[in-house]
Chains A and B, each alone.
Chain A
Amino acid sequence: MTAPVVEAKASERVAAKPPAPRRRRGFAVHFAHYKWLYLLLLPGVLYFAVFRYGPMYGVSIAFKDYVPFLGVNGSPWVGVTNFTDFFANPDFPQLLGNTLILAFLNLGIAFPLTIILALLLNEVRLSVLKRTVQTLVYIPHFLSWTIVASLSFLLFALDIGPLFQFVNGLFGTNVDILSDPNWFRPLIVLQEIWKNTGWGTIIFLAALATVDQDQYEAAIIDGAGRFRRVWHITLPGIRSTIIVMLILAIGQMLNTGFEQIYLMTNALNRSVADVFDTYVYFVGITQGAYSYSTAVGLFKSLVGIVLIFGTNWLSKRFNQSGLF
């Protein structure tokens, strides 16, 4: 009933200014037409507005000297002091270095391993064996980091841990792996691989199931061996999945896993162990420097956004396919 009226009014204006009103009319019609769909969208929008965007006003404390008693609004503004303090802090290069090194180690070692494991599982022809192995490699994912850390402490215990003896026997050394700074990063990456590689294969296995089986047959007839088939059929078949997962992984890259690192840190390896996440906890929560640590967290988020857009742009440039 109302639609024609709107249309009539709009058409009057068309004569005066052609392009803009046409779009507005289009939007009104569009909105009226899909009103129920928009209503369905409402809870989702509300959720993000209230729980995701609403709390963001709290980010303003990064530019204030926040005192809980005075509240977010009552605390005095200090401009970018918190940021300049952080960048001028002698800890900054160390934190940035540690975070990036761990992030790239995880990305460079743990990420490809997931794909390799998925490919290996995909080649297993015996279904019982495949499913058993799959289930077994998923299990570590459900153990908390506290348990993983406790296991590490038992296995690498000085002088008596079985892995302590094995590793030191292998290299002919006698170092305390748990406190030696050189061993911290390998240990963290090992834990990450042990815990999450199996779980990460799920998506790749799903993608592998969609690869066209006829192509394999054709390739076999043409005399392609197993590696040729993987290289020319399987990998290109799951390329888009790999890229999406890579972009997501890079977005998460700087989240170096607070719990894991916090649990494995001690006075002797702190120089390589301190990352943004543990630093924010240590300075912000335990020392009550909320503003400063919010500034650090905000900086970390900015770097994360730059990374995710950067990878997306790169991937679009080279493959014409990105996440968005």
Chain B
Amino acid sequence: MIRRKHTLAAAVVVSAALALTACGGEAPASDLSSVKIMAPFLEAQPPTADGAVQKKLEELTGKDVNITWTPNASYEDKMNITLASSDIPHVLVVQGKTPGFVKNAEAGAFWDLTDKLKDYPNLKTTFPEVQQNASVNGKVYGVYRGRNPIRAAVMFRQDWLDKLGLKAPETTEDLYKVAKAFTEQDPDGNGQNDTYGITIPKWGGLGTNSPYDLVETWYGAGNRWAERDGKLVPSFETDEFLEANRFIKKMVDEKLINPDFATFDSTKWNEPFFNGKGGIIIDVDSRASVLINLFKQANPNDFQNKVGFVGSLKGPDGELHAHPTDGYSGFLAIPKSSVKTEADLKNVLTFLDKLNSKEAAVLINNGIEGVNFNVVDGLAATIKPETPEGKAVNTDIKSFAQLGTNVTGNNFYPVKQASEYEQKVFDDRVAVMAKDLKSAVYNPAAAFVSPTYVAKGAQLDNIVADARIKYLAGQTDEQGLKDAIKLWNTSGGDKVKEEINKLWQDNKK
């Protein structure tokens, strides 16, 4: 009796353990009447599943849409963990070609869509070069999410500029002069030496469109990679890179840049500008509108003359080397473990095709006409005063816009700005960016993924990125910076260069 009981007990233990540790079993057979999506959200709260936008989206696509909204700050971590789990969505927003993604893709985790997208009218891109940038060595693993290729801008306190009788900067040398005047000539007129030129936050990584990256590109150092003597070299191995950093260091040494640039919290970036401490910000052009809004909220009667901006600046060689982004911000990939057959894949692609139709693009970017916006002269005018329904839609679309791909250009309405002044600034931004696009310096290696870089690129780049900040802060000298670049090469960078050059050469043929 007792022995049998023991056996029974043991059996219970073992089966319980098995049930608990087994890897979730089989995924449910996919009928794909509902599509599961994983996407990031940047707002305080994710949209709710019963919101008007989601209902309308389900109506438009004919599918139940089941979206797992994940906070943007931890999206990369969560995505990696999700890929390792058994509960994998049908559509996954991938934010970039991170090592985790590339490894999974090369192991066959995602459908190769290179020859498939052209069969879908709304997924067949009108910007093939951007699709190429978003590919992994030519293989397209997702529908890229299009972004403005030119976003770099210099924003400055227009009122300070006017008071000191200066002109908006056009070259990097002008930038220095304006920054110096903002620091030394008491632009706020309070009789105290309490202002500085440029505010730079804690932002070190290479190739992250940081203020440092922008100035380097303007100096002619290229964009991540540059062609020198028929070969691709990393931007930081060019002479222009050193010149650009000497220039920034000069400004740091003369206290034209906030001294705590290595630790300054980037979420507080607007504060010195708004509070009249630091007069210049080098970032994306959309920050100009954010800044204008800050001044408007503080004083709705006097905000028109506070913020000025220009696009990319001419370098010391007198040429304009505008700094573009790669033109995309990640892509929507389709995992093979949740979408198992070609037929299912067609189903999902049809869904994505509908998601990128004009109706859906308007829905997820503008909202619902008559509820939160009306079309006025081809612009989306927000309905004021905001009704509760309108407010819910306005909040939801900020997150739903993350699903937009716009691979055939922006099919939704530009937003009508709140006042004439803001509309003018918005139109100016569009014009400046269109002008800079003609001089854009693209990253020639954007499409290429080198195996060594996947394995340790981020650590390698950190060597140079940290050395750059140390050099600017005066913790090391120019030789120290050069030594770090040498260390980058000997720690594996040599191989990265070799691999990238091979891919580049092969691609040219």
| A-to-B contact residues, CB < 8 Å | 2, 32, 35, 42, 45-46, 49-50, 54-55, 67-71, 90-91, 153, 157-159, 176, 178-179, 181, 266-268, 270-271, 282-283, 285-290
Apart from A2-B1, A90-B491: 5 A-B pairs, beta carbons within 8 A:
A42-B9, A69-B109, A159-B259, A287-B98, A288-B98
Q: Could you tell me the distance in whole angstroms from the C-beta of A58 to the nearest C-beta in chain B?
A: 10
Contacts of B286 in A (CB 8 A): none
Query: Distance in Å from the Cβ of A157 to the closest Cβ of chain B?
Result: 7
Q: Is the interface of B mostly helix, strand, loop or mixed?
A: helix
For A68, the closest partner residue in chain B by CB is: B84
Is the pair B262, A69 in contact by a Cβ cutoff of 8 Å?
A: no
* Closest chain B CB from A77 CB (angstroms): 15
Given contacts A46-B16, A49-B17, A176-B260, contact A69 B469 (CB under 8 A): no
Residues of B with Cβ closer than 8 Å to A? Answer: 1-2, 9, 13, 16-17, 20-21, 23, 76-77, 80, 83-84, 98-101, 103-104, 107-109, 202, 204, 259-260, 262-263, 265, 335-337, 455-456, 458-459, 462, 465-466, 469-470, 473, 475, 487, 491
Contact pick for A289, options B109, B259, B455, B462, CB 8 Å: B455
Residues of B contacting A288 with CB < 8 Å?
Answer: 80, 98-101, 103-104
In this complex, what residue of A is CB-closest to B84?
A68
Of the candidates B2, B455, B458, B465, which one forms a contact with A286 in the assembled complex, judged by CB atoms under 8 Å apart?
B458
Choice from A153, A267, A285 contacting B80 with Cβ under 8 Å: A285
CB of B369 to closest CB in A, whole Å = 41
Contact at A32–B259, with CB atoms within 8 Å?
no
User: Please, which residues of chain A bring their CB within 8 A of the CB of B77?
Assistant: 285-286
| CB-defined A-B contacts under 8 Å, sample of 8 | A2-B2, A32-B2, A46-B16, A49-B17, A68-B80, A179-B263, A288-B99, A289-B455
CB distance B260 to A268 under 8 Å?
Answer: no
Q: How far is the CA of A271 from the CA of B262 in the complex (A)?
A: 14
CA distance A124 to B20 in the complex (A): 53
Known A268-B469, A286-B76; judge A157-B260 contact (CB<8 A).
Answer: yes
Is A153 within 8 A of B265, CB to CB? yes
Task: Give the Cβ gap from B416 to chain A, nearest Cβ, in Å.
Answer: 39
Distance in angstroms between the alpha carbons of A181 and B469 in the assembled complex = 13
Verify A42–B13 contact, CB threshold 8 A: yes
State the CA gap A249–B76 with chains docked (Å).
34
User: Contact: B104 with A68, CB < 8 Å?
Assistant: yes
* Pair B470/A69 contact, Cβ less than 8 Å: no
Residues in B whose Cβ lies below 8 Å from that of A2: 1-2
Give the complex CA separation of A282 and B99 in angstroms.
12
Contact partners of A158 in chain B: CB under 8 A = 259-260, 263
A289 and B83 in contact, given A179-B260, A267-B470 (Cβ under 8 angstroms): no
Instruction: Please report the C-alpha to C-alpha distance between residue A179 and residue B252 in the assembled complex, in whole angstroms.
Output: 15
Residue of A nearest to B106 (CB): A67
Instruction: Name the residue of chain B whose CB is nearest to the CB of A55.
Output: B21
Given contacts A68-B83, A68-B84, contact A179 B20 (CB under 8 A): no
